[in-house]
Structure 1
Amino acid sequence: MATIKDIADVAGVSLATVSRVINNGPKVGDATRERVKKVMEELGYRPNANARALVTRKSASLGVVIAELLDPFFATLAHGIDAVARRQNVQILMSAGSIEKQTELKAIDTLLQHRCEAMVVHSKALDDKTLVEFAAQVPGFVLINRYIEDIGHRCVWLDNVAGGQTMARHMLSQGHKKFVVVSSKYQIDDPIQRLSGIRKELALSDIELPESHIEFSTPDQEGGEIAMRNLLARGIEFTAVLAYNDAMASGAMTLLQDHDVNVPTDVSIIGYDDVLLAKYCRPKLTTLHYPVEMMATKAADLALAYARGDVPDPSVTYKYTPTLVKRDSVMNRHAGQST
């Protein structure tokens, strides 16, 4: 494989000149630049991305840690990051953390071994102290979907408490008073905060949410189905289901329909995330829009900026708020119409 020295010898220039051509540096005449590029092409030379990163102090690759590669939510997140990487001409190195401490550590360590100076990390299993230490080590370390006060200027996050409140508030406004919740069994920030928001909003209307009205399962369609089956088995009376995400909402809806419970005439359901699935449920799912692609774009831009040494205003925080998307799975019990 050709080296920089080989290029310099054949082109009859110094190593410094070859380096300037590779890195688009100044002080190289047009004729010399073209001669060096021609020799590089003839010898089949390909610049080493990591070596260039060390010379230019720019991140040659953007590391990404997400929970699951196949989950539609994380696919949308990855799509937003990829758009930024293409625009800024950097490579993406992606790994899955699986919401498990050792797997998340291994994923981040792999990116460190590849000299990633910019990282967008979705971590739910690692503790705050560990993530703060990584932020001190990696110039462009940015957390997405999580807020840690000590590195708040490096966090792009969603107000899940406000999201839970919005879900409950909408159901209350439609005349519902009997609630159940299907939530994720993983006791991480997202389900805890969303449930907190739900309780907070219901309490304003003097409505309690007993523990028996909450069922935890895997945050997917099968988990939603299992959670709803367990709730029905308890004989609980309810007209409103608040689901941790759209996948659980879809599974719960299917189980209800299989038991001849009409949605939304008999029971209303609201989801969370607004993934593509929500548009194609029948009925179409009322949900909370999670601006994940917008957040991913911001996180990637932020990570690359920090890696370049372009430090954004540290006083700025990047908090996003979910918004209600009204479709057909919630019945207005006052008017008899779905919202």
Structure 2
Amino acid sequence: MATIKDVAAAAGVSVATVSRVINNGPKVSDKNRAKVKQVMVDLGYRPNANARALVTQSSPTLGLVFSELTDPFFATLAGGVEKIAREHHRQLLISNGLVSADTERQAIETLLEQRCEALVVHSKALSDDELIAYAEANPAMVLINRHIPQIAHRCVWLDNRAGGEAAGRYLMSLGHQKIACVSSRYHIEDPQLRLEGLQQALAEAGQPLADIAIEHGDPNQTGGEVATQNLLSKNLGATAIVVYNDAMASGVISVLTDNGYRVPEDVSVIGFDDVLLSRYLRPKLTTMRYPIEMMAMEAAEMALSLSSGKSVSDCHKYVPTLVKRDSVLALRG
């Protein structure tokens, strides 16, 4: 296997010159740069990534911390970041945070130990203060799906409260008054803000959401099933259910159907996220679109720009939009 010394000898230049070419350094003529690159191809030489990282204190990698490998939402998030990494010829390194402070901390530290050039971090369990400290120590770190005012210019986030409000207002515009909610059991801001938005919209219309009409579960199909079984046992007579995410909504629809309810004729269901499965459920799911791929791409671009010393804009807020499909129906008078 060829070494950097072999490349230098074959090109008739110093080892230092070869190193500058590898690291895109200055003080190399175009002629020598082209010669070194051709010799590297001829000899099949590949730079040692670890050695290069030691010299530059970074490696051409983009790090991503996210919460759940199997969740379609996070698969879409990772796909958006990966797309930008590929466009910029960066390797993507992924570490799973699992919505746990200890695990999120370890995930960030692991990527920092790998000398990632830039970081996109989805953190729900770490405190604002700790994330601010990480951001101050790592100028190319960007948060996604999290808004911290002190570092707002490095946050790409969604107005979850506005999404909850919009879902509630849409259902009320169709005549629904008995509305229930299936939310996530995790004590993080996303479900809390969506529920607050829904509660605010209903309260302003004079039909506040009763605590008994709210059920919590794991943010997946099984959690949606269990929460819906609990709702049905209360005999609330709800004509519509607002659900934390599309995965839970698929569980909600399954249990309703199994218990003889027609969706949307008897009970309307509205989800959140607009992941791929929402288009293939039966009925197709009405949902609040979370533009996570677009947000992930922006976060990745921001992180790489910051790693190059470039400035970024101040506002990166997104607002959910309603996607009307077949799981919601106007209530007959």
Mark yes or no: TM-score above 0.5: yes
Contact 1:183 1:214 in 2 (8 A): yes
Deviation at 1:32, TM superposition (A): 3.4
Describe the shift of the 1:53–1:310 C-alpha distance in structure 2 as closer, same or farther (beyond 3 A).
farther
| C-alpha separation in 1, matches of 2:148 and 2:31 | 53
State the one-letter code of the partner of 1:102. D
> SS of the counterpart of 1:194?
helix
Aligned to 1:154: 154
Q: CA deviation at 1:104?
A: 0.8
Matched, 1:40 2:40: yes
Q: Contact 1:58–1:308 at 8 Å: present in 2 too?
A: no
The aligned residue for residue 145 of structure 1 is: 145
The residue that corresponds to 1:89 in the other structure is: 89
The whole-number CA distance in structure 2 between the counterparts of 1:237 and 1:213 is: 10
Measured against aligned partners, the alpha-carbon deviations of 1:80-99 in whole angstroms (never above 9, x if no partner) come to: 11111111111100011110
Structure 1 residue 319 corresponds to structure 2 residue 317: yes
Aligned to 2:73: 73
Give the letter aligned to residue 132 of structure 2: V
User: Does the CA-based 8 Å contact 1:52-1:60 persist in structure 2?
Assistant: no
SS of alignment partner, residue 157 of structure 1: strand
Q: Is the 8 A contact 1:168 1:202 kept in 2?
A: yes
Which deviates more, 39-48 or 291-300? Answer: 39-48
- Which aligned pairs between 1:117-132 and structure 2 lie closer than 5 A? 117-132=117-132
**How many positions carry a matched residue from both structures?**
333
**For the Cα contact (< 8 Å) 1:59–1:118, is it kept in 2?**
no
1:21, distance to aligned residue in structure 2 (A):
2.4
Asked whether 1:296 is paired with 2:316, we answer no
Gaps of 5+ in 1: none
TM-aligned CA distance change 1:306 to 1:29, over 3 Å: closer
Match of 2:275 in 1: 275
Task: Spell out, residue by residue over 1:67-124, the C-alpha distance to the aligned partner (whole angstroms, 9 max, x if none).
Answer: 0112110111111111111111111000111101111111111101100130000001
**In the TM superposition, what whole-angstrom CA distance separates every residue of 1:122-178 from its partner, at most 9, and x where no partner exists?**
001111111111101112100000001111110000000000000000000000000
Match of 1:286 in 2: 286
| TM-score w.r.t. length of structure 2 | 0.94
* Gap regions ≥5 residues in structure 2: none
Residue type matched to 2:159 in 1?
Answer: D
Secondary structure (helix, strand or coil) at the match of 2:272 reads: coil
Shift of 1:40: 2.7
Corresponding residue of 2:328: 330
Q: Alpha-carbon deviations, 1:286-328, whole Å to 9, x = none?
A: 1000000000000000000111111224xx1200000000011
Percentage of identical aligned residues: 56
Aligned to 2:165: 165
CA contact (8 A) 1:64 1:119 kept: yes
Distance 1:27 1:109, change over 3 A: closer
SS of 2:116's equivalent? coil
What amino acid sits opposite 1:298 in the alignment? E
For residue 93 of structure 1, what is the amino acid of its counterpart? L
Who is 1:102 aligned against? Answer: 102
Deviations 1:213-246 (A, max 9, x none): 1000001111111000011111212101000001
Give 1:97's aligned amino acid.
G
CA contact (8 A) 2:58 2:115 kept: no
> In structure 2, what is the Cα distance between the partners aligned to 1:189 and 1:294?
21
CA shift for structure 1 position 19: 2.2
Whichever residue aligns with residue 324 of structure 1, its letter is: L
Q: CA deviation at 1:250?
A: 1.0
**Does the aligned pair in 1 maintain the 2:305–2:312 contact within 8 Å?**
yes
8 Å contact from structure 1 (residues 50, 60) kept in 2:
no
Contact kept, 8 Å, 1:59 with 1:308, in 2: the verdict is no
Larger mean Cα displacement after TM superposition, 103-112 or 16-25: 16-25
How far is the alpha carbon of 1:2 from its aligned partner?
A: 4.6
Report deviation, 1:12.
2.7
Residues 152-301 of structure 1 aligned to structure 2 (within 5 Å): 152-301=152-301
- 2:2–2:44 CA contact under 8 A, matched in 1: yes
